[in-house]
Amino acid sequence: MTGESGRGETPPPAESEFSPPFEVIEPGELTSPLVFSSPHSGRVYPERFLAAAKLDAASLRRSEDAYVDELFASAGAVGAPLLLAHFPRAYLDLNREPYELDPKLFEGPLPQFANTRSLRVAAGLGTIPRVVADAREIYSGRLSVDEALRRIEALYKPYHAALRGLMERAQERFGVAILVDCHSMPSSSAREPSMSGRGDKRRLDFVIGDRYGASAAPGVVEGVEARLRALGYQVQRNRPYAGGFITEHFGRPAAGWHAVQVEVSRGLYMDEATLDKSPRFAAVAADLAEVVSGLALDIETDKTLGGPRRMAAE
């Protein structure tokens, strides 16, 4: 029975522990068509999730884009919103299709509409991840299909609806919307693929992804890349990260929606072993503020998209 003296009651879903699951940090005044999203920087780990996991919180955090929301906190200074998740990537990955689900993780058959055959699912990195970034299994047992569907309904769909709303607002107000999807990458993977075959890979500080030119006007990517290089950083475009589902889904230049993924090497701003911020954190954040400011200025002066922009509504 339920409801008697609290005994036998079904525990509340872990989603209620995030309070709220995500938030939009709005600027004092909306003056830019830029929209910033940090889908992987969430660092709230519910007790129910930790109890079901075979890994401790420190191990689960290896998949987290730690502090990326803080690195891009300068969004407000240019009159742009920043959308950020509070739930962790290990719990639900927003940069996947909504139903990119791994049959190895769930009890019983998955819905027919689920995508069970993607390369990301094969690697254990679907919408509900089976492993963390170092390929270690997250859970001590299988999950119910209902658990997956609840997380998608309660977290994934509302976050994407919020992001869609910000893009629609930007386009309505300025005639165009430009998404900067903010991520971090392990320094071990932040290497330029070798073309010589000798294994002499160059260190990378940033990787800018535009789906090989499909998700944004060239001027958007060129402006970000040029400013990062001018600050002394090593930058690569689309390799090894060309942009995930968010960049692909929200990048529709012909419709006035542009999307760029920015990956910053974690070794630049944090101790990857302890997950503590390094002494360079403030300097990297200041450099990104300069890049963001320059991008906003280029958009305002028509140097990025090559067309007239509407001013913010009075």
Question: What is the domain-level CATH number for residue 277?
Answer: 3.40.630.40
Within 10 angstroms of residue 262's Cβ, the number of other Cβ atoms is 27
Query: Are the C-beta atoms of 223 and 267 separated by less than 8 Å?
Result: no
In the block, residue with structure tokens 């701003």: 269
- Residue 18 within any structural domain of the chain: no
Total number of domains constituting the chain: 1
Amino acid 134: pLDDT: 83
Amino acid 292: pLDDT: 98
| Residue 255 per-residue DSSP state | G
Q: Which pTM does this prediction carry? A: 0.90
Query: Are the C-beta atoms of 179 and 260 separated by less than 8 Å?
Result: yes
- Residue 107 within any structural domain of the chain: yes
Amino acid 15: pLDDT: 66
* Residue 279: half-sphere exposure toward Cβ, Cα within 13 Å: 0
Query: Are the C-beta atoms of 240 and 192 separated by less than 8 Å?
Result: no
Domain range for 295: 28-300
- Residue 50 within any structural domain of the chain: yes
- Residue 310 within any structural domain of the chain: no
Tokens of 1: 């029975």
User: Judging by DSSP bridges, how do beta strands 276-277 and 106-107 pair with one another?
Assistant: unpaired
- Residue 269 within any structural domain of the chain: yes
Query: In a 3-state reduction of DSSP, which class is residue 187?
Result: coil
Amino acid 56: pLDDT: 93
- Residue 17 within any structural domain of the chain: no
- Residue 305 within any structural domain of the chain: no
Amino acid 138: pLDDT: 98
- Residue 11 within any structural domain of the chain: no
Rounded (5°) CA angle 180-239-300 = 30
Taking 3-state DSSP, the helix, strand and coil percentages for the chain, each rounded to the nearest 5, stand at: 35, 20, 45
Listed as ranges, residues in the chain with pLDDT below 50 are 1-11, 196, 308, 311-314
